[in-house]
Structures are given as structure tokens and as C-alpha cells.
Amino acid sequence: MLTIIPSGRNDLLEVEVTGDYTKDDMQQFEKAFHEKKTPNENMNLLLVVNDMDFSMKALKEDFLFGKDHMHEFNKVAVVSDKKWVEIGAKMEDTMPDLEVKHFDKNHHTDAVTWIQ
């Protein structure tokens, strides 16, 4: 399940993922991104990952979205206590022109500070 968290900032999309992450969740994320994104301005993403399982359709949608829109993000803060999420964040940080940083669950405030 995907929850969009109101951030109060035009340049920040904050989402929380818990449980099953489906194609519908990915489409909800895409809709929120397009509603919040302004032309010629990049976004920041604060992603909080709790216990998460995902479908292959969601994974495919996520991959396609990333391929098309990764250049539209400045920073991505990933908050999770899952090792595989931390490894994924480190891999994404190798992408040009994108800063990705992982934070443990108990460092959510640090993630918010970093992404500002």
C-alpha cells in the first residue's frame, strides 16, 4: 500500500510504502508526481519503506517510470531498516545527476533535513 504524505513543499514528494506494493500503487505514485511537478523544476523524493512486498507488474511500472523520469529528481532520501532497500539506494546513487541517500528508520528527521 502506498500513502502520499502531505509535505507542505512544492518540490518534495513524500511517500510511505507498507505491505503489498502493486501496479495500482505505482500508478498512484505517478499521478501524485505529475500533479506536484512543475515544468523546468526538479523534484525531491522522501521514500519511507516499511515491510514491503511487490508484484512484478509494479516492478515493471517502477522501472519504466524511473527510466523516463529519473532526470527530474534532485535528491531521493530512502528511509528503511531493510538491508535490500539500503543496497538498492546505494546502487541508484551511482546514477548521474541524482543524489540518493539511505537513512535508518530511526533517522527520519535526518532524512528530512538532508533533502532540504
Count of domains for the chain: 1
How many residues belong to the chain? 116
Contact (CB, 8 A) for 102 and 85:
yes
The verdict on residue 84 lying in a domain is: yes
Task: Give domain status of residue 66, yes or no.
Answer: no
| Domain carrying residue 111 | 2-29+41-61+71-115
113 vs 14: CA distance, rounded Å: 13
Question: What does the pLDDT look like over 29-54, one tens digit per residue?
Answer: 889 988 988 888 888 989 888 876 55
57 found inside a domain: yes
pTM above threshold 0.95? no
What is the dihedral sign for C-alpha 93, 72, 51, 27? negative
- What's the pLDDT tens digit per position in 95-104? 667 788 889 8
Owner of C-alpha cell 518540490: 11
- Residue 36 belongs to some domain of the structure: no
Cell of 95: 546514477
